[in-house]
Every structure is written in C-alpha cells, then in structure tokens.
Chains A and B, each alone.
Chain A
Amino acid sequence: MRTYLLPEYIVERDDLKCTRCKICIEQCTYGVHYYNAAKNIIESRSERCVNCLRCVLFCPVNAITVRRNLNAYRENYHWTYEFIASIKRQAELGSALLSGMGCDRPYLTFWDKLLLNACQVTNPPIDPIREPIEIRTYLGRKPKILEFKTGDGDIELETKIAPDLCAETPILFAAMSYGAVNLNVHEALARAAVECGTYFNCGEGGLHPNLYKYSEHIIVQVASGRFGVDLKYLNAGAAIEIKIGQGAKPGIGGHLPGEKVSKDIAAVRMIPAGTDALSPAPHHDIYSIEDLRQLIYALKEATEYTKPVAVKIAAVHNSAAIASGIARAGADIIVLDGVRGATGAAPKIIRDNVGIPIELAIASVDQRLREEGIRNEVSLIASGGIRNSADVVKAIALGADAVYIGTAALIAMGCTLCQRCYTGKCSWGIATTDPEISKRLNPEDAYKRVVNLVRAWNIEIKEMLGAMGMDSIESLRGNREQLRGVGLTDRELKILGVKMAGE
C-alpha cells in the first residue's frame, strides 16, 4: 500500500563542493545515495535516510548535510510527531514496531538532577596527580566476618573468600550479544577489557572460539535461550551471569532477527542460519525464586565453584524485593539494568514504557539490602544509559559497586545512535553481522578508542573522588551524603536517599 509517512530526514548536498567521488554511495548501507549518470550528479532518496551520519563524516569535502525534515505535523504536545508516525507505520505493517538502542523519551533521567559534593576547609580535597586515588573494585560475594588464627605473635586468616572479580576500574563492558554486534566489536571489547584491567560481558549469543584466549577478562552470559552454553563455555569466563531480564525490554526475551543470523552466528549459537534467534521471556526452568537458586548452584557445580555467579535483572517496580531474593538465593553479584538500557532489537513500545530508571532502582535496592543486613555480602552493578564519568560516580554514591557501559562503548567506536540496529545494516559496521559491512569496524582502531574512553573516565573519576576528599572508592560506595538533588520532589529525594541542594 502507499505510504503516508513523511521522510524523517532530508539529505542535502552542496553540489558545488561535491567531487562525485561516490564515497557516500559506497558507505551508505541503506541505499540512500545513487549516481545519476545522465546528469552527473549524486542524488539521494531521503525517505531511506536514518541519520547515521556515515556519509556526512566520510565525505572528503563535507558536502553533505542531513537535517530534520522541516515538514512536520502541527505542533501538538500530546500527539507528537513520533506517536503519529508510529500509528501510520503500524497501519501499514500491522506489527509491533522494532527499534534499537535505548529509550529516548524525556523525563526519565535522574543523573542530571543530582549534584556532587566537594571538600573545603573542614576537610581537604585530594589532588589525584600528587596522591594516589584507588579505584580498584572487587565484585563478588563477601563473608559477614573475617576470622583469624593467632599464635606465636603471627596472625593468619582463616576465612576463605569466595571467588570474585578484580577490576582495576569500576567500569565494565555491558553484555551485547554476538549477533546483535559482530565479532570485531567483541574482539575490540575483549582487548580493551584486558588493557583496562576490567571485564567484558559476551552477552547471550555465545562466545566465539577466537575469543577464548581472553578468558580471564570475560563474563559469560546464560540467558533463557541458553545459546552456546556448554561446559566449555561456562568455564571460559571469569564469571557467569544469568540473564533474567534487561532494561530495554523487561519481561520479554531477546530477539535477533533472522537477517542477522549469519553462518558464524549460527555456529556459535547452534541454530540454523537465517532463522530468528529468540530467547524466551522467562528461563523455562525458573518460575520461582527457589528455581533461580537451583540454577545458580547448577552453574556453580558445573564450574566447580571456581567462578562467581551474577544475576542480571531489569529495574522494575519491585526490584528491591527481587534483589533481596536473588542475594539470598546465592548469587554473588546482582546486575540491575535500568529503563535506558540499550538493545539490538526490541519492540519500541516496550523499550520506552517498561522498566524504571536505574538511579531509583539502585537507591532502593541498596537501601533494602542494607535494611536486611546483607548489603555487604553481594556486589551491585548498575547499568542502563551511563553517559559519562559523573554518572558513574553518582551511581556508586547511590550504592552500586560498579557500572556496565554498553552504549557509551559503542559510541566510542563510532555509533551515532540512529536506532536502526535491528535492520542489520549498521553503516558503522557495529550492529551488523554482514561480513562485508562488518569489515568497516577495525578491531585495532575500535579497541584503542574504547581504552581511551575508559582511561579518560578514570582520570575524571579520580578528580571527582579527590574533590570529595576521598582517596579510595570504597569510601564512596553508598555515600549518599555526597549527593544533593535539584528539581526533585520530596518523594524522589526520599527514595534516592538524598537531600536537597542547599540543605
């Protein structure tokens, strides 16, 4: 049927500058540009443009501008452009609309309403250039008490501590499945994890054999589809993460469209090429908390208790109670993924409307675990739209031990958040498994960018810690006194456990 949709973007080309080099045609994976031989000009089918900015950045003479289509519906705060367009599209397709990356709606970010403290007079700030500021973070289960044996003036530690992860920075790389992204991305992240002394989560798509050599820096994920999960896989990581849910699509499973299931992906996931790879919503063996406990211990047995087991849940309404249950079920690490968490593909309506912001979730989970006296025994990782080092510091001050970054790592590699990951045509070579397009992402270059990002954030984190008068990150974890809120209601302040700026 005829489409009634307006093109979202208009591609403009400065014809005087254009040298007809045709790089834009080559680079665009959505078929926007084409060469009109008769007129010797390059023309563009604006209706296909997704604003990925690849051609803009690669045009050697900066001849291309992509701008928002000025044709718009009449201003309407209730019926926004987005909602109108979605209806028209659904009227044409009759299906749930997919989208990629994370929720982009307004009003759901609390990081920008939290401000950090700095020390003056009564306590000196610390300069990270001159004095060491320690950001090493251990993640795993900790005993309630340490017992020692004393004798002959010697003191020996008796308590055994469970296996855990040692990250030299509180920043870890979030789970992005092999299939949602390609092997080059995985390799770049793995190498970056090694160099930064942190960990990369390989997501629910299994682990490619080429990456087994990075074992000590990999967290393997076990999701409901159990893709690629065998003993070898389980033992290939430094930790195992059971994925119950993710912030982008709580309550529904993972979804890798058949177009992205290439031969390699199929081999790792152990499904036929070209079929959709679907992870069911629940783990079909977990219908209650005691089942989760059973799975956790099954994994521990399978790896002979040598690796910590984490459980990842989406931040939803009763996350606090769920987290408490997970802690008591034997998990060593709890991962909370907020509503801003990203994905390769999710129904847009779920992505934008289900789940709660990670800020509130961390605050309430941390508070609940403390009330129950068990906070010190598990580690908490916050995830979902961490955009900069200030978000990291605020997350830790609210109660997290560490954060996962996903979107930020991809942006460092080149992603421009055009949200078309589900098409498999990512022009940056990131969210695609097409072998040709994937070549565009050079792992050597990509990993350096990610390492630079983490290094820059580490410097900033140390500066902020120093400003707060702390020389070690242990003194920030859950230290709500270092935060103040602006533009928050009393209720929000109460849940975050934070005072209003000025108090």
Chain B
Amino acid sequence: MSVINNCIKKLEDNAAIIDANEVPYQQLNMLLRKLSVNGIRTVEIYNVCGQRYIGTGLKAPLEIKVYGVPGNDLGAFMDGQRIFVYGNAQDGCGNTMNDGLIVVHGDVGDVAGYAMRGGKIFVKGNAGFRVGVHMKEYSDMKPIMIIGGKAGDFLGEYMAGGIILVLGLTGEEQRDEQSMKFVGVGMHGGTIYIRGEIKCKCMGKEARIEETDEYDLCLIRDLIKEFFTYFDLEISINEVIADKFVKIVPVSTRPYGRLYG
C-alpha cells in the first residue's frame, strides 16, 4: 500500500497526479479505482511504461491523462471513462470497450477496438493490424473509431456494426492509396469510410464499395470536426472534408448463407 501512496505526487479537490515509474500495473489500476471511488475525477499519470489494462474495471467517471507508453489492453472493457494518451499505445487498445472515449496522440498497435460496442476511439497517428474486429452496434450504442494515419491489414474484420473512418493524414506516405489488404473480411454490419482510394482487390469478398450520399458526407464532416477538436494537425480541416471518400459496406448480413447447406 505504501508503494501506491508513494506514487501519488499531488492530490487536491478532485484531481490527482501519479508517477507510475516502476509501479506494477495491478497496483496502478487498484489506485485508479480507489481514487475514482473516492471522488477524484481527473488523474494525470506520468512515466507510464508498459502497464496494462489502464482504465479497466472503473465504476465511476474518471478522466485519465497518460504520459508515456501504456501497455496492452488500454481501456479494456471500459464503461464511460475518458483516456487521453500522450505517446503511442500498444496492442488491444479499447478492447471490448462499452462506452467512453480514448484519444491517442500517437499510434495504436494491433487489435485496437476489438469487439467495441460503444464509445469512441480517436487516433492521431497510425493503427496496426486487425483493428476494429467484430465491432458491433445495438439500438443507440454505436462505436466510432477514427484513425488519423493509416491502418494495417484486416481492418474491420467480421464487423457487425459501428463506424471506422481512416483519414490517411499522417505517416510517411500521405494521401497515397491505402495499401492495406483484407479490409472488411467477414463484414456483416457497420460502415468503413476511407479517405482517398482503395482497390477492390484489397477488400474481403464480404465487403463492397458503395457511393457516399448526403447523409454519409454529413456524418463524415461531423466526425472530422470532432476529430480535429482533439488534435493539432497541419492540414486544414476544410481540405480534409472536401476530399473524396470511399464507403465500404457489407455485401450481406448473412455471409455464411451460401457456404453451409
């Protein structure tokens, strides 16, 4: 317990500052839970390096600012909290997230937003492989993920709901054709928007391209506006909104129909 108490650098009103240097993740997360239950509403954590599951299992609202590199499964099963990361996140960011917000001023690794059911994830930089796998939506719970840079292979695999928007703004090759493969394999719900172009052969056979309509463009515009409120980007927002977007939707809601008989 003393370790935990030692790492609290400042505690006043409803805000706390923590130094996570050498603090094992179990203790860090226990501390976060304790603080939130005791009325703390904002926490800044410095020297984060590899601690996992930050933001998991919190029952009260909390806003967490993470400085450093959080470990795997940041915000896993999160239910309404807000996390801001100033650095790169690793794999499993927003795993099975129910509600809340994750903003990453950097890249996220593989398997981000896996089975996300609600809430939002905004990534300034790039995302890895298998991002947005089996995202799902139900009634008014609709998860949203916006990637400022590029995404890797298997984006939106098995998607059953929600929205993924890939902007391709940052990263070495800006505005180039997205080079990822196997986009939307097994997709049977939800929508993926990609700024720029994508070749048909990059997509899984369960996904197809559809023309964007007024509703889509409106939605994209609102999403981009929201995205820009979190990050300082060199490109102008109007330039981005005015660009062409590709809309990817599922071919059917029953991709197994023709295979099993």
Contacts and interface: CB of A to CB of B under 8 A. Distances in A.
Among A129, A130, A132, the one with the most B-chain Cβ atoms within 10 Å of its Cβ is A130
B186 A130 contact: yes
A459 interface: yes
B204 A130 contact: yes
A61 B152 CA distance: 60
A265 to B, nearest CB: 38
Contacts of B157: 130
Contacts, number: 20
A131 B259 contact: no
A405 B260 CA distance: 23
The main secondary structure of chain B at its interface with chain A is loop
A458 B174 CA distance: 40
B106 interface: no
A168 interface: no
Contacts of B185: 129-131
Contacts of B206: 129
B256 interface: yes
A465 to B, nearest CB: 15
For the residues of A in contact with B, the DSSP-based class is loop
A486 B2 CA distance: 59
A259 interface: no
Looking at A127, A131, A132, the one whose CB has the most chain B CB atoms below 10 A away is: A131
Contacts of A127: 158, 186
A129 B186 contact: yes
Interface in B169-205: 182, 185-186, 204
B133 to A, nearest CB: 9
B154 interface: yes
A131 B182 contact: yes
A113 to B, nearest CB: 27
Contact residues on B (Cβ < 8 Å of other chain), bracket? 10 to 19
B255 interface: yes
B154 A129 contact: no
A448 to B, nearest CB: 15
A129 B182 contact: no
Which residue among B158, B185, B256 has the maximum number of chain A CB atoms within 10 Å of its CB? B185
Nearest to B181: A132
A129 B252 CA distance: 13
Interface in B55-82: none
A209 B259 CA distance: 37
Contact of A459 (B186, B204, B259): B259
Contact of A132 (B158, B182, B256): B182
A131 to B, nearest CB: 7
A36 to B, nearest CB: 43
A129 B158 CA distance: 9
Interface string B133-163: 0000000000000000000001001100000
B186 to A, nearest CB: 4
Interface of A: 127, 129-132, 459
Given A127-B158, A129-B206, 14 more contacts: A127-B186, A129-B185, A129-B186, A129-B255, A129-B259, A130-B154, A130-B157, A130-B158, A130-B185, A130-B204, A131-B154, A131-B185, A132-B182, A459-B259
Interface of B: 154, 157-158, 182, 185-186, 204, 206, 255-256, 259
16 contacts: A127-B158, A127-B186, A129-B186, A129-B206, A129-B256, A129-B259, A130-B154, A130-B158, A130-B182, A130-B185, A130-B186, A130-B204, A131-B154, A131-B182, A131-B185, A459-B259
